[in-house]
A and B are shown apart, each in its own frame.
Chain A
Amino acid sequence: MVVVRRAALEIRREEDMVRVRRSVRQWADELGFGLVDQTKLVTAASELSRNALVHGGGGTVVFEALEDGPRRGLRLTFTDEGPGIPDVELALSDGYTTGSGLGFGLGGAKRLVNEFSIESRRGAGTRVVMTRWK
């Protein structure tokens, strides 16, 4: 598998989330994803950007266009230096929230992509990597 293109965006303010959504749409479109897949990627990215901003105090997202033989994919990596997630399993379950949300962000985003992983430790920030293949 090779990374054919890479770029990064900061997530520091609410307006940045709008920029992230726009960029994901554009990357997905350029990679040839159909409308439904584009919408899934944009929605998952919106959830993770908001988590990085609201729970993680801001962070970054790295975009990577992937090629694996004939397959093409988009990998998005969200990183923040926030408080971390003490219990990832619990955080992934639908309806679990420590804020005022619905608690569907993490579990929902996971359902919208093909590969999804969370690396997080209390006090050491959070990294979420997700990939959708065409």
Chain B
Amino acid sequence: MDRIPILKMGAFLLVTIQVDMHDRLAMALQDDLSNKIVETGARGVLIDISSLEMVDSFIGRMIANIASVARVLDAETVVVGMRPAVAITLVELGLSLHGVRTALDVERGMELLETALADGPR
């Protein structure tokens, strides 16, 4: 089965979602990421969805789940690169993705994570 690659970048993990994901792939990513956070002790996760042409309730739930699991494992999640059309649709769909931080691009997402780490208690 295909897997979505997870890259380690310093204290953070970067996932770039490049394919139109089917549901099994999304579930596998959730598992892989949790394992990788534990394995590497990563303090932050960046999920780059700039290639995603849509986020439906399933993918939305996956992103929210990743963020809550990451939080329990002491890592922050930032979703980066959401397309404007996707954001508009997501709001109308009714998904709030609360608790998930967003940034315009990977660079800004990294800054956000670094600031959160510097400020936050450990």
Which A residues fall within an 8 A CB radius of B? Answer: 14-15, 17-18, 21-22, 25, 35-36, 38-40, 42-43, 46-47, 50, 94, 101-102, 104-105, 107-109, 111-112
Option from B20, B24, B86 in Cβ contact (under 8 Å) with A22: B20
Which B residues fall within an 8 A CB radius of A? Answer: 20-24, 53-58, 60-61, 83-86, 88-89, 92-95
Instruction: Tell which of B53, B60, B88, B93 has the most Cβ of chain A within 10 Å.
Output: B93
Collect the chain B residues with CB atoms within 8 Å of residue A112's CB. Answer: 89, 92-93
Collect the chain A residues with CB atoms within 8 Å of residue B60's CB. Answer: 102
Contact present for A43 and B61 (CB under 8 Å)? no
Option from B58, B89, B92 in Cβ contact (under 8 Å) with A50: B58
Complexed CA–CA distance, A107 and B57 (Å): 11
Contact present for A102 and B89 (CB under 8 Å)? no
Which 4 A-B pairs give the minimum distances between C-beta atoms? A108-B93, A39-B85, A46-B56, A14-B22
